């Protein structure tokens, strides 16, 4: 095999940040990765997926090796908008290092982690003369920060059709809290958003007995939903939580009882429930107040737990060896593309500290980025031991 040279994780992170890949725009980030991975001996496949009513999204699949074990790394190069660029201390897409920190949109979520595991794989292949001793693949998508329709889900469908079945997968989401490596995510709560509409009968506020005020019914229904806990948590998950995010009537007149009132609810639910069960729980409590309602849900993802095993053992041992700490196995935070990958193989998430994700001056320590690369490399040594 031809000799390979590992990229530097910090320089690669800078190159990726300089690609303005605000979802769903590719921005050149996949071009950078295809160039680097191709140079390491990977077979790269660019895939653009479409869906009516959504933007086309470019994705990248890359693989080296044909044998087992097959270890995958997954990540997204799309980033959220920068907001007010003038509020940043540097160009959000400049990839500038200030002191000992790399600042830029995507530094934490999650171009830094992608650079770390590409560099770790490069180092691993460099040490082994280009032979992975199994297979390594990359699943790089471009709409995780968007609707998540034309990215990971469709890439996984393509992989299954092509027989590209990894045995385990590491996702580079920023899972670390107070210190790098203090948390490995082994599951995620489910998420559903529901629009609750309560109907009444319009009338004059001076004659309330001739009307039926839906706002009163809605507020009492919301009180039932807020006051009663959904559960008290489970072994690996915190309690499920319902939040009211909006209440709307749209009534410009102070002397008119409206005909309808709406509220938007978001529920993050643990592995004791499916989305259907949560919706049933919600409907029962609203129905106790009024039968004249509609509940229109949107399900972002079901809760899942990828049980601890060889993958989490290897990641935990790598964190301990490189950083001297024992990571907790967590399930908190928002959704991620791991909710799709868990249907294909065991999955765990490990990445940089999440303190500045999506913020102005998003940043990561240069040393922390190199340490994450070292952790990924140590995990590969355990997972692909000769």
Q: Which active-site residues does the annotation give? A: 78, 144
Residues 6+ apart with CB under 8 A from 252: none
Contact 268, 241 (CB under 8 A): yes
Return the H-helix or E-strand segment holding 187.
strand 187-188
Return the H-helix or E-strand segment holding 338.
helix 338-341
- The residue behind tokens 């935070």 is 333
Contact 257, 208 (CB under 8 A): yes
The first and second tokens of residue 385, run together, are: 């031991």
For residue 248, give Cα distances in angstroms to 44, 214, 299.
Answer: 49, 11, 21
Which of 202, 198, 250, 201 has its CA nearest to residue 225?
198
Distance CA 108, CA 328 (A): 20
The first and second tokens of residue 264, run together, are: 């938007």
256: DSSP letter? E
- The residue behind tokens 């053992």 is 313
The first and second tokens of residue 241, run together, are: 């939580």
The first and second tokens of residue 306, run together, are: 């990828």
């Amino acid at each position: 095999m031809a000799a390979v040279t590992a990229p530097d994780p910090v320089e690669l992170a800078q190159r990726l940040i300089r690609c303005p890949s605000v979802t769903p725009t590719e921005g050149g980030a996949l071009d950078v990765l295809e160039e680097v991975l191709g140079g390491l001996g990977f077979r790269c496949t660019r895939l653009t997926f479409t869906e009516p009513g959504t933007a086309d999204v470019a994705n990248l699949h890359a693989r080296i090796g044909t044998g087992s074990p097959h270890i995958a790394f997954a990540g997204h190069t799309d980033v959220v908008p920068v907001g007010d660029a003038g509020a940043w201390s540097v160009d959000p897409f400049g990839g500038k290092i200030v002191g000992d920190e790399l600042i830029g949109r995507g530094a934490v979520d999650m171009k830094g982690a992608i650079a770390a595991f590409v560099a770790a794989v490069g180092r691993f292949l460099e040490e082994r003369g280009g032979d992975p001793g199994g297979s390594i693949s990359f699943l790089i998508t471009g709409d995780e920060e968007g609707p998540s329709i034309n990215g990971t889900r469709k890439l996984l469908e393509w992989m299954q059709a092509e027989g590209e079945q990894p045995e385990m997968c590491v996702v580079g989401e920023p899972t670390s809290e107070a210190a790098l490596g203090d948390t490995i995510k082994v599951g995620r709560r489910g998420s559903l958003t529901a629009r609750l509409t309560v109907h009444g009968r319009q009338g004059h506020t001076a004659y309330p007995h001739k009307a039926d005020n839906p706002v009163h019914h809605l507020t009492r229904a919301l009180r039932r939903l807020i006051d009663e806990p959904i559960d008290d948590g489970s072994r690996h998950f915190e309690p499920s939580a319902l939040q009211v995010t909006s209440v709307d009537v749209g009534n410009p007149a102070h002397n008119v009882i409206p005909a309808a009132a709406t509220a938007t609810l978001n529920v993050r639910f643990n592995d004791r429930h499916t989305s259907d069960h949560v919706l049933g729980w919600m409907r029962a409590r609203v129905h106790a107040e009024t039968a004249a309602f509609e509940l229109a849900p949107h399900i972002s993802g079901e809760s899942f737990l990828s049980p601890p095993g060889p993958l989490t053992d290897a990641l935990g041992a790598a964190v301990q060896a490189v950083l001297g700490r024992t990571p907790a196995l967590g399930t908190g935070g928002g959704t991620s593309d791991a909710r799709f990958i868990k249907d294909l193989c065991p999955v765990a998430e490990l990445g940089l500290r999440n303190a500045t994700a999506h913020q102005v001056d998003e940043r990561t320590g240069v040393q922390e980025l190199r340490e994450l690369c070292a952790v990924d490399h140590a995990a590969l040594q355990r997972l692909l031991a000769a």
